Structure 1
Amino acid sequence: MIEPIIFFSKLAFRLPYSLVKSWIGGSFTELGSSKAIARVFLSEFAENLDPVTLKWVVNPVLHSANLLSLWWLGAAGSDGHLRWLYQEEGAPVLLYVHGGGMCVDMFACSLGYLKLLKQEIGHLSIAIVDYSLCARYPQAIDDVWTEYKKIIDEHNEVWLMGDSAGGNLCMNVLQRCASEYTRFPEKCVLISPWLNVTKSETSFAHPGTNDYLTRNQLAMFKNIYAPNGSHQDPFLNIEANFDEDVWTTVLRHTKFIVLCGSDEILCPEILRLCSRLAKVDDDRVKVCMEPQGVHCNTLLFDAWDPYAERSSFPEILRFLRSDFYEKA
């Protein structure tokens, strides 16, 4: 098993080079040192990661970090694939679906952000779906759907939130709600959703983009999750197979906020989806474009300073709070 050795050797060689290159290129001045260093590290990590290192090194380490983070938060407990962070009687439930290409065990990266939402909103329950990783399509969808149905059976108000691949899984829950005549969530927050898993993007990135997420990384996730997936499958390629009738039904019941970084490689497909949703019902869709934002920008950087000038955290908070205090 030489792959992990190769992976860490590449990081040891390439990280210093890329940091110096970024500094010379002015990124440290333009973005600030913390953001510039984080972007470089994530870019090198993503570009060089391989399936073997992911399975035998990265995910076990991340799983341990998840357990420590849940302990640190004093999490409320678990039930099947659900990990309860906070439980309050009669409170709306925010069901969070983490990203990671359906392969990376990284929900701990979102815990600080979710804690901030809890602190600001107050009366709120939060649960994370710890779905099966590196499993073949549609296992992850089935896991999230099972937990969603349990939540809506037991709670009056449910909100969905997902980043990257988690955004894809949230959209799949909504499509299943429409096809199986199941109760919809009242709100859905999508952060940099990965909308087209197997269909290649023709306009993958803006000129000069410096997103850390790479085409090679997306291809690796796709080959693990759905190696033989059809381009015509609307549960794999949501934007490419947009069904206006389905999403008309969804928007009748669910309001959206969609966040997208201007520098991320998924930006074109996200903006196309938002345009199509807005044509169905513009009043039910809010788009938040993050200047110089990379993939999942708000999760990575806004928790450091949630009310900074370019932070998207206030937009999500405002969206989740809307209509809430009117009902109280």
Structure 2
Amino acid sequence: MAEKVTATASDPSGALLYLHGGAFVAGSARSHRQITTMLALETNLPVYALEYRLAPEHPFPAALDDCLAAYQALLETVGDARRIFLVGDSAGGNLLLSALCQLRNDGMTLPGAAVAISPSTDLSCSSDSYETRKDQDFFLSRAGLEKDFATYLGSASPMDPAASPLYQDLHGLPPLLLQVGSDEILLDDSRRFADKLRASGGEVELEIWPDMIHVWHFFPHWLPEARSAVQAIAKFISRHSAA
């Protein structure tokens, strides 16, 4: 099930699929409605916020399966994959990247572009920024994420490429924008993924926003950078929209 968010001038010929964060155990279309509303207004596309299944009741790969099914349904509705765009934050960013790799592996037509906000790309929590940014990041902690990731993974390994997209073969993915805050422990998850994707010949833009926290997009009333980041997403999507 997905919640549809539209602006007055929404273009029905395209669509944006939004995958919310929440460490795979929390979050909903409602909790992220402020972000999806801003995206609908800035992109002029209908936004579909997916209510994927959550752990512990539904461990890996249930959420990923839901994302793949949602993309397939949207593709049947829109018709042109080049007019579909994927955006996800945190755990949703993980699912987005994992879904892109699985779609490629399955020979599916890929979306026009994708945006991952503060994604967790390595569920083994081995990025250096877990230590180097732990004093700046008041929102996330290694211990908290390790617990939530273990709940999500169940019997799966955190090094499983299907769960940790950093360990995937990254060739053949659509254009990707990564946005991450300089003060979050997941900073190097984005850096490492961008480096590997670039080395694989992929088209990737990495934006490291100075002094920003995890998914600062939540706070447009307090942080002007929140709306600026969403506007940057809209510009990226516009550049990759099929004529």
Q: TM-score, normalised to structure 1's length?
A: 0.66
Figure out how many residues of one structure are paired with residues of the other and give that number.
Answer: 234
- Is residue 115 from structure 1 mapped to residue 73 from structure 2 by the alignment? no
Name the residue aligned to 1:286.
Answer: 205
Equivalent positions of 1:66-85 (< 5 A) are 81-85=1-5
- Is residue 259 from structure 1 mapped to residue 179 from structure 2 by the alignment? yes
Unmatched tracts of structure 1, length 5 or more: 1-80
Moved more, 130-139 or 306-315: 306-315
Other structure's SS at 1:148 match: helix
Other structure's SS at 1:107 match: coil
Moved more, 156-165 or 85-94: 85-94
Q: Does structure 2 retain, via aligned residues, the 8 Å contact 1:307–1:313?
A: no
Q: Decide which of 198, 203, 215 is 1:296's aligned counterpart.
A: 215
Name the residue aligned to 2:142.
Answer: 215
- Distance apart, 1:210 and its partner CA: 2.7
Equivalent positions of 1:120-159 (< 5 A) are 120-122=42-44, 124-134=45-55, 135-155=58-78, 156=80, 157-159=83-85
- Runs of 4+ in structure 1 off by over 3 angstroms are 87-90, 305-311
Describe the shift of the 1:179–1:82 C-alpha distance in structure 2 as closer, same or farther (beyond 3 A).
same
Deviations 1:91-127 (A, max 9, x none): 31000000101110343232122222222333x1110
Name the residue aligned to 1:175.
Answer: 101
Q: Give the share of equivalent positions with the same residue, in percent.
A: 24
Describe the shift of the 1:210–1:173 C-alpha distance in structure 2 as closer, same or farther (beyond 3 A).
closer
Name the residue aligned to 1:315.
Answer: 232
Q: Does structure 1 retain, via aligned residues, the 8 Å contact 2:113–2:240?
A: no
- The higher radius of gyration belongs to 1
Deviations 1:134-169 (A, max 9, x none): 111111111111111111122122100000000111
Structure 2 CA distance, aligned partners of 1:154 and 1:273?
31
Structure 1 CA distance, aligned partners of 2:179 and 2:62?
26
Other structure's SS at 2:233 match: helix
Q: Does structure 2 retain, via aligned residues, the 8 Å contact 1:132–1:139?
A: yes
Structure 1 CA distance, aligned partners of 2:155 and 2:38?
40
Higher RCO (C-alpha 8 Å, min separation 6): 2
Other structure's SS at 2:165 match: coil
Report the AA paired with residue 200 of structure 1: C
Name the residue aligned to 1:69.
Answer: none
Unmatched tracts of structure 2, length 5 or more: none
Name the residue aligned to 1:201.
Answer: 126
Structure 1 CA distance, aligned partners of 2:40 and 2:125?
37
- Distance apart, 1:310 and its partner CA: 9.2
Structure 1 CA distance, aligned partners of 2:53 and 2:5?
19
Q: Decide which of 85, 88, 91 is 2:13's aligned counterpart.
A: 91
Q: Which has the higher helix share?
A: 1
Structure 1 CA distance, aligned partners of 2:14 and 2:227?
28
Other structure's SS at 1:147 match: helix
Structure 1 CA distance, aligned partners of 2:190 and 2:145?
15
- Distance apart, 1:130 and its partner CA: 0.2
